[in-house]
Amino acid sequence: MLVTASTMSAICSRTAIFFIFVSCTAALVLRYGLSMVPIMPTRPSPSRPWKEVVADKLSADSAKIPEQWRLSADVIAAAKSRKQIAGDFIEDLLDAETRHVTSADAPDLVAAMANGSLTAVQVVTGYCKRAAFAHQLVWVDPSLPLDSSQLPVFC
């Protein structure tokens, strides 16, 4: 097999992304402990009504989001009235550091962590914060029959 420069570049990018994932996961576990890592998923009792199971799951998921990352009811209501929350809407919710980290490419993040201008904790925190915001903004009622054209655009 002939290895070209573009093949090596793709391999290096994948390796960099894997490195970021592993180092960021380790940094989060070190900082917050194993309480944020689900060890074994629980299964609902088959005798419980599904709406009760959903309510419990939503409550448990919400409790995992740090208090300072919880969005106000006004922000969530504004998001529900929009078809698209990507772009300015979500960007305006994020602080400058989080915007900087989550808008950077993987090679730039690796370089920034290598030269010390960013730490793995900052990178993981930025992505987790953005994901927590998105999780709160994008929720589809499972009882509604929606097709993909009706879902909000996030990416």
Give the tens place of pLDDT for each residue, 83-136: 888 888 888 899 999 999 999 999 999 999 999 999 999 999 999 999 888 888
Residue 68 · residue 137 · CB < 8 Å? no
Residue 87 one-letter amino acid: G
Q: Could you give the 3-state DSSP secondary structure of residue 45?
A: coil
The b-or-e profile of 112-138 (16+ CB within 10 A means b, else e) is bbeeeebebbbbbbbbbbbebbbebbe
pLDDT band at 50 (very low <50, low <70, confident <90, very high): confident
Q: Is the pTM of this model over 0.85?
A: no
The b-or-e profile of 74-92 (16+ CB within 10 A means b, else e) is ebeeebeeeeebeeeebee
The reported pLDDT for the residue numbered 98 is: 93
Q: What whole-number distance in Å separates Cα of residue 16 and Cα of residue 51?
A: 42
